[in-house]
Homo-oligomer: A and B are copies of this chain.
Amino acid sequence: MRSHWMPAAPGDRLQDVDTPALILDLDRFENNLERMRKAAAGFNVRLRPHAKSHKCVEIARRQMAAGAVGICCQKVGEAEVFLARDFADVLITNEVIGERKMHRLAQLAWRFPQARIGVCVDNADAARRLGAICAAQDSRLDVYVDLDVGQNRSGVATAAEAVEVARAVVACPRFTFMGIHAYAGSAQHRRGVPERRAAVEAAARKAAEVRAALRAADLPCEVITGGGTGTFIYEAESQIFSEIQPGSYALMDVDYARNEHDASAPKFEHALFILATVMSKRGDRATLDAGLKAFSTDSGLPAPTFTGWQVWSVSDEHTVLHRIGDGPSIKLGDKELLVPGHCDPTVNLHDWIVAVRKGKVEAVWPVDARGTVF
């Protein structure tokens, strides 16, 4: 259930927004989109932003207006939300395993026959099963072989396996074999430029080898897609990847901001914040009304946007700040902004994104695909 309670309305001042609320700074967000548009255009690489980061139709529309060729989703339920809102090119960058899920995906492709819907496979039997369900449902899918390029999570490990899986794909008449999905997930948060670059160069070499093996087996491989906010420049530079999939660049978070960058790399700014109210105050302690149900801490604590106070502890509904210096005083009822540690699971906690420009609410957008775990 989406809460009917909305934290704000257009025209409200930021300090009147109910808390805890997810705040999107529109100026920064638009700058991030424009910088990514320029970067992708400069490298002549297709930009397919990952919607799992924001799960928001309005944000994805703005990404499409800023040069995207389509979007990525991670779950069938996410794809369903975006397809139902007229997105015409959606790639599920994940394996879909299980009878219910496969049937749901096949039904989705049947409901939206004009859309391009892609999905990843890393197992020949699973590909055949999905192909049989699509045949029974009379629906078509674009299919990518998922290649493990160091994430050690999913994907085929070798060119021989890729050929075996791709053969199973082309044997399904309702499938169009598209190419290789090669996402170097574990490389995204390596802090140094040389480490990230080296990880992607290795991933690109492996993807090129697999493409050669596929071609040698007469399995055409049109697309190689991958890359996230931490590495997309290196995928784009590689001349191997034809498509990049960054997500977090639009919003940013504490974790991604820790990465080091070349001076020439596009700068993405924190555009996503948690607004919280001081709900208790005693001496040098101030307690905010936002906790683990308003932001995730899997990649570290949220960062205050103000000086002189640090996050001391976080619990389900509270964040305790302690004074550590000569920052501004904080009083009961004050509203403060925090930068979340990790944007994706933080956005997933909220029903609404409050879009703000220069301290004024411009719009309140639903997080349309929040909670689509299936």
Contact = CB atoms under 8 A, between A and B. Distances in A.
Contacts of A342: 292
Interface stretch (A92-100, A132-140, A210-218): A92-100
Interface in A282-339: 282, 285, 287, 289-290, 292-294, 296-298, 313-318, 320, 332-333, 335
A372 interface: yes
Interface centre among A314, A317, A372 (most CB of B within 10 A): A317
A63 interface: no
Q: What's the interface size class on A, roughly? A: 35 or more
A125 B280 CA distance: 12
Interface stretch (A33-41, A110-118, A348-356): A348-356
Copies of this chain held together in the complex: 2
A363 interface: no
A263 interface: no
A297 B148 CA distance: 25
Contacts of A289: 97-98
Nearest to A283: B157
A265 interface: no
A259 interface: no
A159 to B, nearest CB: 15
Interface stretch (A15-23, A196-204, A229-237): A15-23
Interface string A169-206: 00000000000000001000000000000000000000
A257 interface: no
A330 to B, nearest CB: 13
Contacts of A153: 280, 287, 313, 315, 318, 320
A105 to B, nearest CB: 12
A155 interface: yes
A52 B280 contact: no
B317 A97 contact: no
Nearest to A345: B292
A123 B280 contact: yes
A317 B75 contact: yes
B279 A154 contact: yes
Contact of A52 (B96, B316, B371): B316
Interface stretch (A2-10, A24-32, A64-72, A238-246): A2-10
A281 B153 CA distance: 9
Nearest to A101: B18
A261 to B, nearest CB: 23
Contact of A95 (B5, B279, B349): B279
B126 A332 contact: yes
Contacts of A185: 315
A311 to B, nearest CB: 13
A368 B4 CA distance: 12
Interface of A: 1-3, 5, 7, 16, 18-21, 52, 74-75, 77, 80, 94-101, 104, 122-123, 125-126, 146, 148, 152-155, 157, 185, 277-282, 285, 287, 289-290, 292-294, 296-298, 313-318, 320, 332-333, 335, 342, 344-345, 348-351, 366, 368, 370-374
Given A1-B2, A2-B371, 20 more contacts: A1-B1, A3-B373, A5-B77, A7-B100, A18-B98, A20-B374, A21-B374, A74-B317, A94-B279, A98-B277, A123-B332, A126-B333, A152-B320, A185-B315, A290-B373, A348-B349, A349-B373, A350-B371, A351-B371, A371-B371
